[in-house]
Amino acid sequence: MDDYEISGWFETEYGVEMVLCTAAADDEDLAGFLFEQYGEECLGVDMELEGSYRSGKEVDLSEVQIFLDIISEE
């Protein structure tokens, strides 16, 4: 895995959806990417993500999910 890749999966009605993101700057940006790519499929589901941003900060799944909730309410 590249030093700046975030990868993982989330459950959907039809099985597991794999995720790969190489351009997110932080947890909020990653949530935006997920919502743009997968829409409401990625809301309120089991999800596992790992990796780090260019800053070296690792993905904080709980923060990503908070941002997904905020984005979905807009």
- Supply 22's token pair: 């190489």
d(CA 60, CA 1): 18
pTM of the complete model: 0.90
Of 45, 44, 63, nearest to 6 by C-alpha is 63
Instruction: Estimate to the nearest angstrom the gap between the alpha carbon of 25 and the chain centroid.
Output: 12
pLDDT confidence tier of residue 2, bands split at 50, 70 and 90: low
The neighbour count for residue 56, using CB atoms within 10 Å, is 8
Query: For all residues of the chain together, what is the average pLDDT?
Result: 92
Query: Which candidate, 48, 46, 43, 45, places its Cα nearest to that of 19?
Result: 48
